[in-house]
Structure 1
Amino acid sequence: MKKLLIQENGVVTILSVIIMASLLLFFSVLIDYARIAAFQLKTENEARTGIRSVLSAYDDSLYEKYGLFGRGGTEGKAIFTEVLGGSGAKYTGLDTRSHFDFIVSQLEEADVQTAYTLGQHDVFARQVLEEMKYKAPVDFTLEVLSKFTSLSKALKESSGAVQTLEDLRKLYEKREELLEKALSLQEKAVTTLIDNEAVAAIPAGSGSSGNSAATSLSLADRYASFARQVEHDASLPEDEEPAYSYSIASYRHSVSQMQSKLRTGGGKREQHDSLLEDALRKIEQSREVNAQMERIVEESKKATVGAYDEVAGADVAGSDDYALPNDTVRDLEEMRKSGEKLLRSSEWFQGYKQELLAQSSRGYAAASEIDQLISLWSTAMSWPLSSSRQASLQNGSSKAVSVVSAYEQDYGPHGTVMKQRRESVLDSSVKNKLSEQKAKTKSLWKQAKNMLGGLSGTSAMPEHQEQFAKVKERYQQNLLFNDQGGETAGPRKVTQAADAEDAAKESSGLMDSLFSGMSDMLLDGRDYFYFGEYAAGRFSYFAPQQLRKLLESGDTDGLSQMASFDNQELEYVLYGFHDPMGNLIAAYGELFSVRLAIRTMEGLVASRSLGHPLLILSAAIIYGLEKTMEDMISFATKGTAPISKYIKAELSYLDYLRIFMLLHGGDQEKRLGRMIAVIEHNTGLTLAQVPSGVTGEARVSMKLWFLPGVMGMLGRLDLLQGKVVGNRYETTQTVGWSY
């Protein structure tokens, strides 16, 4: 081998040089390529470290008060540049006396851009959910839900009973009004056909002459004498004065008066029939209303599984501590189904119709007899007179007396048929009690409206209205920022129910929605529940003690001063009114409504001994109003009230606001916008300008050791992630990160 390598002809030496040069080229490229790969990894890690360092500078006050991460403090680019420089980019050459760096990087350019902001609803919502996902369910379940779970079945039956009986009550009153109109028309038909004077003209007893005027029978008995007197005077010579002129004239006058009375009573047969036909129509209309009531009753008997049952079936810790008395739910269920007691049978309506048809027929007969009697008298009083007509007059009068008296004995003001029908239609004992209860209910409802009416009657202070205007502007700007188009219409104004009965029904419907929200939270963990719990924990609310003077005496002094935005942030998030009193009216109105629903449930149980469904309902509403007003005073005095007389536990005003968050899931985007507006108002920040995620871009370079031309050629073949500029390799690292 030695001889072969040192031959003088040099062939092998040249070959060796070629081989060594090739190896040197290969290893040079390989070394720089390895350096480039390591450089890529190193700069990527440095960029990630830099961007995390940028996000480490967050707004302390924003986090401490609201649990939100947003960029704050030192400017992001400065941090990013400093971190990249401190990681090795500051070394621009080799100093073998201190170290040997295989990869010496140089920062050419660096920049930081905002990727996400806290003002974006999806970003804001994500941070809120992260903050609340562990804490919120535990808090709500232990503090509130366990106390409602035991009431769920009772409130389900109570809500069904109130809504069913209230629907039936309105139809019941409509049906009874129609029946009373039919009864009035029936009575009017009798007096139209035979009024009091006509009855006097045809007395109940044969031969009676009446108290103040001659009757048909008495005149008939005197007819023969009258005819003879007329015949006598007619036979006298012309120069002789009539002997009976005064008696004849008096008799004719009495007959004329009697006929006039008979015509007054018996000459209105068409009106009599028309009134009875109208009464028949009223009965048919009332029967149709009764059919609507039957459908409601049948629907009320159907057992349904809904939100109440889902809440009742939930395994909630602590719910066993709040048990209702035995049979409470069963009693309420029976009341829900008790509406059938208000129905009238189809046989009842058919019997009433038959009665009117019979009255019409007998009225026709009575009118015919009167007409015939009038005709008999007209004939009897015409010339020539004949005493033989007395018998027909007596018979006609007796027959008319018999028919008319029989009609009047059945259908007159004191007639047996009308008496029974009046008792059947009017049902006075129940309706009188209902009327008394309604008067008391009306008085209590007036007190309740006055109790809360001071809120709507309180004038807002200009500075408070200005606060709300600024918050509204922030809210609308945030909606626009999130492409929600701003708010074109405000929330629906809260209106009080027209009467206590409507208020009770509305409160039952409110309770249905409330339990639906609880069920959704238990089954699906709805996001709006977490948002509500976040707001309840972070925002202010209007303490009910501030309403004590208003609720106790109606005194509104000082209330307007306390109605600033800073005192009702939670109510604003919940309802969204941009005025000082609107959110308070809505919150305390719903608080009253929920308390009324619970207290009315208690009233149904307490009043079940009254028997009649509407008496029970009316008494329950009275009980509910009285106890609810006591609850409102309790809130104003100590901030809490008993959840029910059956549950020995109390809930605060704040607890109810948390419950109402479940009731008003509403438009999530608008609720998030209001939450952001509250935070911006308190911090002075614009969350749309507060970064929660950033993107860092750094351009760094490294000096190539060997063959930059070859590395440049590799770069043109897309074998490198960066590019070769002169004798340096450059790459750009882009890294994004968020809280």
Structure 2
Amino acid sequence: MRRTAGGERLFRFKRWWRSEKGGVSMYLMMILLPLLLFLGLLIDVLRWKTADQEAELAVKAGVRSVMSAYSKNLQAYGLYAIETGTVDANGEFAKTVSDNLSDSAGADRFVWMRQELVPGTAKVTPIYPLSNHQTMRQQILEEMKYRAPLNFALEIVDKFQKNGVAAAMGDASRFGERASKVEALIGERDKKMNEAWQEFAAIKQKSADITPFYQTQLRDLNELSARIGVHTLEDTRLALQQAKAQATALQNQIRSIDGSINSLAQAGAGAVQAIAQLAQSRAELASQYQIAMQTVTQYEELIANFVRYGELLLVLQGKTALDQDELHTKLIRFQQAFKQTVLANDALNAEMEQIKNGGGGSSTTAKADDVFARVQVIGKQELDQWEADAGGAVAQFSGFHAQMNDGIWFTQQKYANTTAAVEGSKQTLDTAWTRMSPEMNRRSLSQKNIQDAKREQRAKTQAVLDQVRRGIGACSLVSGVDPYESLYHSLQGNPATPGVKGYFQTFMEMNRQQDNLASVPTAPLDNPDQAGLSALKLASGLENVLSTVRDEYYIDDYAVSKFSYRTLGMEKDSYGRIRTSKELSMPEQHPLANQEVEYMIYGAASCAGNYSLAYAEMFAFRLAIGVAEALLAPDANSLAAGSPLLVLLAAVAEGAVQAQQDMALLIQGDSVPVSKKLSSAIALSYKDYLRIFLLLHSKEAALLSRIQALVYVNTGVDLTQTATYLSGSASTAFSFWFMRGVTRLLGNNGFAACGADKARCSLSKTADLRY
């Protein structure tokens, strides 16, 4: 049976396998050869890992070496950065990396792994300059994180919070705001009430003017009515006609008798008897004629009374219509003014009720309960009665007008009713006037006295404010020239050259910040009312600022510690020795002498401007404390007046005098007690108040830009050419000993690429470090 080719090969292999010649050698070769291959591969892999670690450490060492060349000038301010324009960062980095590689050991020495720097691959990239706000902020926080909390806790929090000064000023501020609001409501109520009172007085005056007229005319009308009695005009006219006809007939008869007598007289003595009879008849007729003429006269007078009655009634009806319209117009004006009075009074009463129920803020300062309890309030019932009286009086006159136009004959009863309506209207107004005029006069006099007292207190305060404005602190000038003008031009820019920006504006724009920040609020020194309220509002912010610890504290304390201010070199310790700054930045030697912190807060373009703003605000702060102290025991006369604003103005006048005295000490470097009544044992200096103002006016973008600008001026270091973060990268190379192809294949697939060079393996490393 023939074997196939495949079967033949299988047969030969089985025969060789069963043979024992050379079996051990083959076995050893099969075992050792893979082992040797594996050991060679393992050695190259270990050398590759060693090279990788060595390259990484060398690159990190190179970056650290470059970063060790930080600016000594900036280090004095607690800032760490290299000046990229003065340091050969790439050269130093390449040298350090090369020195830390195994190739530096020399060619005559055996080394486990010889690695060298690939020429031209060492490079350092500096980023995050100190001109960046976030970078600057982070470095300041690092510098101050161990110092600022202690300083602020001891210098600010303990001196204000734990002694109740901050709370007292907050209470005083809330009292001032509430007092101003209540005073405005009182003024509005009194104004509207005076307007309503004037309209009411117009109604009363009108009633007083017309009542005597109507009393007289109604009396005359009643008399005419009594004369007319029960007669009617038609009956009277008919009776008059009949009486006149009778008188005419009698007169004709008398004339006829007179003619007969004249005829008989011509007849002679024989007609005497007849004449005598006719004369007797004539006498009787004459007597009847006289009676008839009297009757005519009576009826004519009665007709005249009818005429006068009608004329007088028409006059009264016309006048009552006009007077009623005028009274209604006056009543409408009164009601409109009265409505405004009610609204103003309700607003005041609601505010007072809120204060009474505890909604008006703390009453620990100024004995607020006593002050507001003395405010005169007007009850709704009193106002309702006043409106009812005015409306009732006009309604009574309207009833009188209706009676005069009802067409009913004027009788004695109607006379009594109409007279009662007219006089009742006037009596109602007189009663209301009598009831209210004493209170209105008292209120008017009280308002006058309060206004006079306010003017007096304002005059006292204004006198102090004028002295403060005239004596406000300023820098001394030599020959009228500001020695710091050029420095401020560098910081803020020169107005004469608008195109040239100052350092401050440059840093603001570089950090994408707008230079349109609101100005620092200060207390106006030309208005006593605004000065007191603004000072209290300014100081009250301290109560909330101190409630939590914030990063701004660190930056603020950094500013006060590293830079100069007005009283630097003037302050004394408890032994009377001048305090000197221990800061490495040596603030007493800065070009912008004794004014840097003020510039950081206010940003004025002159020493005088920054000093003046600091002085004014410090005065306002001391004024607020003085007001808070004065309100603890308000002036008795002001308290009795029932005007919260007057109490406040009196406290402002007292606080202004004390604040002026305190300022004279503060600008000399002395410390003054935080509060003589609340915390006399704790004193603050000019520097401490600058800390407070930095807290109150926290504008981080502007503050950081001004710090950067001042560092630039003081050190000459361009912060835009600095770096606080370095990224270094380099490539190294080494050769494999054994299985280069296999190792490279493993490296490319499982570890790290070795590059295109088949003879050597290149490693690229990057290290990032920051200060």
Counterpart of 1:332 in structure 2 is: 367
CA distance in 1, matches of 2:133, 2:523: 34
Q: CA deviation at 1:173?
A: 0.3
Counterpart of 2:386 in structure 1 is: 352
CA distance in 1, matches of 2:359, 2:562: 39
Alignment of 1:526-605 (within 5 A): 526-543=550-567, 567-576=594-603, 586-605=613-632
CA distance in 2, matches of 1:366, 1:580: 81
Answering whether residue 289 of structure 2 is matched by residue 289 of structure 1, we say: no
TM-aligned CA distance change 1:698 to 1:121, over 3 Å: same
SS at match of 2:118: strand
CA distance in 1, matches of 2:490, 2:401: 81
CA distance in 1, matches of 2:350, 2:533: 19
Matched-pair contact (CA < 8 Å) for 1:175–1:289: yes
Counterpart of 2:450 in structure 1 is: 434
CA distance in 1, matches of 2:568, 2:724: 37
Q: CA deviation at 1:192?
A: 4.2
TM-aligned CA distance change 1:722 to 1:121, over 3 Å: farther
TM-aligned CA distance change 1:92 to 1:130, over 3 Å: closer
Q: CA deviation at 1:691?
A: 0.7
CA distance in 1, matches of 2:426, 2:518: 64
Counterpart of 2:254 in structure 1 is: none
Give, as a single letter, the amino acid of the residue that structure 2 aligns with 1:635: M
Answering whether residue 452 of structure 2 is matched by residue 424 of structure 1, we say: no
TM-aligned CA distance change 1:467 to 1:194, over 3 Å: farther
Answering whether residue 192 of structure 2 is matched by residue 178 of structure 1, we say: yes
TM-aligned CA distance change 1:125 to 1:193, over 3 Å: same
Answering whether residue 80 of structure 2 is matched by residue 69 of structure 1, we say: yes
CA distance in 2, matches of 1:358, 1:565: 79
Give, as a single letter, the amino acid of the residue that structure 1 aligns with 2:52: Q
SS at match of 1:732: strand
CA distance in 2, matches of 1:460, 1:271: 74
Counterpart of 1:312 in structure 2 is: none
Q: CA deviation at 1:111?
A: 1.4
CA distance in 2, matches of 1:304, 1:279: 34
Counterpart of 1:245 in structure 2 is: none
Give, as a single letter, the amino acid of the residue that structure 1 aligns with 2:553: F
Q: Which of 535, 541, 545 is 1:517 aligned to?
A: 545
Matched-pair contact (CA < 8 Å) for 2:130–2:136: yes
Deviation sequence 1:399-435 (CA, Å, 0-9, x none): 9999988877885xxx674354233234145323311
CA distance in 1, matches of 2:596, 2:320: 76
Gaps of 5+ in 1: 1-8, 207-214, 222-259, 309-327, 373-391, 547-563
Answering whether residue 652 of structure 2 is matched by residue 624 of structure 1, we say: yes
Give, as a single letter, the amino acid of the residue that structure 2 aligns with 1:126: Q
Counterpart of 1:678 in structure 2 is: 710
Deviation sequence 1:361-408 (CA, Å, 0-9, x none): 566689999x99xxxxxxxxxxxxxxxxxxx9xx99x99999988877
Answering whether residue 689 of structure 2 is matched by residue 656 of structure 1, we say: yes
Matched-pair contact (CA < 8 Å) for 2:535–2:624: yes
Give, as a single letter, the amino acid of the residue that structure 2 aligns with 1:643: V
Q: Which of 16, 33, 47 is 2:59 aligned to?
A: 47
Counterpart of 1:443 in structure 2 is: 459
Q: CA deviation at 1:518?
A: 0.9
Deviates more, 1:615-624 or 1:134-143: 615-624
Q: Which of 495, 504, 528 is 1:475 aligned to?
A: 504
Q: CA deviation at 1:581?
A: 6.5
CA distance in 1, matches of 2:360, 2:710: 40
Answering whether residue 96 of structure 2 is matched by residue 83 of structure 1, we say: yes
CA distance in 2, matches of 1:52, 1:345: 82
Alignment of 1:495-510 (within 5 A): 499-510=527-538
Matched-pair contact (CA < 8 Å) for 2:626–2:652: yes
SS at match of 1:91: helix
Give, as a single letter, the amino acid of the residue that structure 1 aligns with 2:184: K
Q: Which of 144, 164, 167 is 2:181 aligned to?
A: 167
Give, as a single letter, the amino acid of the residue that structure 2 aligns with 1:517: V
Q: CA deviation at 1:700?
A: 1.7
TM-aligned CA distance change 1:724 to 1:37, over 3 Å: farther
Q: CA deviation at 1:714?
A: 2.8
Q: Which of 107, 116, 137 is 2:128 aligned to?
A: 116
TM-aligned CA distance change 1:78 to 1:544, over 3 Å: closer
Q: CA deviation at 1:696?
A: 1.2
Matched-pair contact (CA < 8 Å) for 1:93–1:104: no
CA distance in 2, matches of 1:466, 1:305: 49
CA distance in 1, matches of 2:465, 2:213: 59
Deviates more, 1:275-284 or 1:722-731: 722-731
Give, as a single letter, the amino acid of the residue that structure 2 aligns with 1:659: I
Matched-pair contact (CA < 8 Å) for 1:604–1:616: no
Over the matched positions of the two proteins, sequence identity in percent amounts to 23
Q: Which of 142, 156, 159 is 1:144 aligned to?
A: 156
Matched-pair contact (CA < 8 Å) for 2:182–2:348: yes
Counterpart of 2:146 in structure 1 is: 134
Matched-pair contact (CA < 8 Å) for 1:53–1:79: yes
SS at match of 1:731: strand
Give, as a single letter, the amino acid of the residue that structure 1 aligns with 2:381: E
Matched-pair contact (CA < 8 Å) for 2:619–2:663: no
Matched-pair contact (CA < 8 Å) for 1:48–1:735: yes
Give, as a single letter, the amino acid of the residue that structure 1 aligns with 2:437: R
CA distance in 2, matches of 1:477, 1:159: 39
TM-aligned CA distance change 1:506 to 1:691, over 3 Å: same
Q: CA deviation at 1:285?
A: 0.8
TM-aligned CA distance change 1:153 to 1:576, over 3 Å: same
Counterpart of 1:317 in structure 2 is: none
Matched-pair contact (CA < 8 Å) for 1:29–1:711: yes
Answering whether residue 332 of structure 2 is matched by residue 277 of structure 1, we say: yes
Deviation sequence 1:628-683 (CA, Å, 0-9, x none): 343234224443443223121332232222223332345x4444334333323333
Alignment of 1:707-718 (within 5 A): 707-718=739-750
Answering whether residue 72 of structure 2 is matched by residue 57 of structure 1, we say: no
* Bigger-Rg structure (1/2): 2
Answering whether residue 518 of structure 2 is matched by residue 491 of structure 1, we say: yes
Deviates more, 1:113-122 or 1:459-468: 459-468
Q: CA deviation at 1:517?
A: 1.1
TM-aligned CA distance change 1:267 to 1:425, over 3 Å: same
Q: CA deviation at 1:347?
A: 0.9
CA distance in 2, matches of 1:445, 1:25: 101
TM-aligned CA distance change 1:423 to 1:463, over 3 Å: farther
SS at match of 2:70: coil
Give, as a single letter, the amino acid of the residue that structure 2 aligns with 1:630: Q
TM-aligned CA distance change 1:111 to 1:442, over 3 Å: same
Q: CA deviation at 1:127?
A: 1.6
Q: CA deviation at 1:288?
A: 0.7
TM-aligned CA distance change 1:636 to 1:162, over 3 Å: same
Matched-pair contact (CA < 8 Å) for 1:490–1:576: no
Give, as a single letter, the amino acid of the residue that structure 2 aligns with 1:534: Y
Q: CA deviation at 1:738?
A: 0.6
Matched-pair contact (CA < 8 Å) for 1:193–1:363: no
CA distance in 1, matches of 2:167, 2:114: 75
CA distance in 2, matches of 1:19, 1:687: 68
Q: Which of 653, 658, 673 is 1:642 aligned to?
A: 673
SS at match of 1:68: coil
Q: CA deviation at 1:36?
A: 1.7
Counterpart of 1:701 in structure 2 is: 733
Give, as a single letter, the amino acid of the residue that structure 2 aligns with 1:68: L
Deviation sequence 1:484-524 (CA, Å, 0-9, x none): 3x3162324757668433443344433443211111x2xxx
Alignment of 1:7-22 (within 5 A): 22=34
SS at match of 1:117: coil
CA distance in 2, matches of 1:303, 1:433: 30
Matched-pair contact (CA < 8 Å) for 2:489–2:605: no
